[in-house]
Amino acid sequence: MKKKNILLAAALLTSVCSYSSGQAAGRDTISIVGSSTVYPFSTVAAEQFGRGTSFKTPKIESTGTGGGFKLFCSGVGVDSPDISNASRAIKKSEFDTCQTNGVKDIVEVKIGYDGIVLANAKKSAPMQVSRKDIFLALAKNVPDPKGGEKLVANPYKTWKEVNPALPATKIEVLGPPPTSGTRDAFVELAMEAGAKTFSFIHDMEKKDKDKYKATTQMVREDGAYVEAGENDNLIVQKLEANPTAFGIFGFSFLDQNADKIQGSIVENESPNFDNIAAGKYPVSRPLFFYVKKAHVGEIPGIKEFVDEFTSEKAWGNDGYLADKGMIPMSKDERTTLLKDIKELKPMAAPAK
């Protein structure tokens, strides 16, 4: 029995060696990494692509936007991924890393929008907030309630203290950890925008960039904001158990759980499909994927996959991605973008 095992192990080891030498021959599955927000959409497109064509179904890893770019920009060749999903545009620093590692031509594909919602359980009343309220409720340091340009540690315990129009319930918000793209987007779109309504903070952006960043992006750590992990289903469950709590997550989860939770109305716009698609709902962000042009032609099917993703039945108003909760772009925007995408036109270096 032991002998047999040893033989088997030897056979395996040889196969490992021979495989790694034969690995240069290539790979026939598209490899996609990146944002967990884009993952539910990317996977649907990949599955449709796999079933509808003779190509293999692409393999998709949910690594987070930053983690995805790290892998994506590690170089050119079969070992590195072909496509990176992102819930924000590529940063200048990431683009530069790509360039130094030989990933020269990158095709940017904007696919649609995602709304970030502040939701609570259906049992409770829906809330109407402004981004300023969100900032005051969740920032670590806020302008002194007594007035003046002094920043003090966030003193607010209930929503009513933030804004007399809001209910007198304890501030308790469950949200994703700092590694999450959803959190980044929420901080930028809701809190930072809310902070800017204070003119002295707005001016700070030019004078003291670091302080501005700290003021607008630091989330309070005294228990009012609870880091509930990346699992949005878990947050939905917790909201049901705790009617006074709010949760932060992507629109697709609200869409799927409309019978259990409701989105707060932000600046008079409720988070629904039409409002986000029309750009009215303020807390929404574009979603992207990035294609390594050097791999097109080397790995079979990349071009066809991009075509599938950007076809009307996928990203269109009634496409299957919309069924899964992605907010499509306007018809005009799609048409404009499609021209460059068809040509696989490399993007220019981003500004920041």
Partner 1 sequence: MDNPANKQTIDRVNKGLSRRYRAERRFRIFGASAILLALSFLVLLFSSIFSTGYKAFQQTFIQIDIFFDPAEFTRENLSTANFPGLIKSSLSVMFPEVTSRGDRKDLYYLISPGASFQLMDVLKENTALIGTTRKIWVPANDDVDMLYKGNIDRTRPESERRINDNQLTWLDKLSAEGRVKKRFNSSFFTSGDSREPELAGIWGATRGSFYTLLITLSLSFPMGVAAAVYLEEFAPKNRWTDIIEVNINNLAAVPSIVYGLLGLAVFINFFGIPRSTPLVGGLVLTMMTLPIIIIASRASLKSVPPSIREAALGIGASKMQMVAHHVLPLALPGMLTGTIIGMAHALGETAPLLMIGMVAFIVDVPHGITDAATVLPVQIFLWSDSPERAFMERTSAAIMVLLAFLFLMNAAAVFLRKRFEIKW
Indicate which single residue of 320, 337, 338, 344 sits in contact with partner 1 (rule: CB under 8 A): 320
Question: What's the token pair of residue 29?
Answer: 């599955």
- Is 297 exposed, middle or buried, given 0-12, 13-18 or 19+ CB atoms closer than 10 A? exposed
Residues 67-106 that bind partner 1 (CB under 8 A): 78-79
255 binds partner 1 (CB under 8 A): yes
Task: Report the site for partner 1 in 263-292 (rule: CB under 8 A).
Answer: none
- 169, 182, 252, 264: residue in contact with partner 1 (rule CB under 8 A): 252
Q: Any contact of residue 51 with partner 1 (CB under 8 A)? A: yes
Minimum gap (Å) between residue 23 Cβ and partner 1: 5
Q: Which of residues 34, 35, 38, 44 is near partner 1 by CB under 8 A?
A: 44
Q: Are 286 and 109 within 8 A, CB to CB?
A: no
Measured CA to CA in angstroms, residue 165 lies from 23, 54, 192 at distances of 64, 58, 22
Stretch that binds partner 1, among 32-40, 106-114, 162-170, 263-271 (CB under 8 A): 32-40
Query: What is the secondary structure of 117-183 as a DSSP string?
Result: EEEEETTSPP-EE-HHHHHHHHBSEEE-TTSSS-EEE----BHHHH-TTS-SPBP-EEE--TT-HHH
Hey, what are 315's tokens? 């990203």
| 38 DSSP 8-state letter | T
Q: CB under 8 Å to 181, separation ≥6 — which residues?
A: 35, 36, 37, 64, 65, 66, 86, 87, 88
Instruction: Report, in Å, the least distance between residue 206 CB and partner 1.
Output: 40
Answer yes or no whether residue 240 interacts with partner 1 by CB under 8 A. Answer: no
User: Residue 31 or 130: which CB sits closer to partner 1?
Assistant: 31
Interface contacts to partner 1, rule CB under 8 A: 2, 5-6, 8-9, 12, 15-16, 19-20, 23, 27, 29, 31, 36, 39-40, 42-44, 46-48, 50-51, 56-57, 59-62, 78-79, 122, 230-233, 250, 252-253, 255-259, 318, 320, 323-325
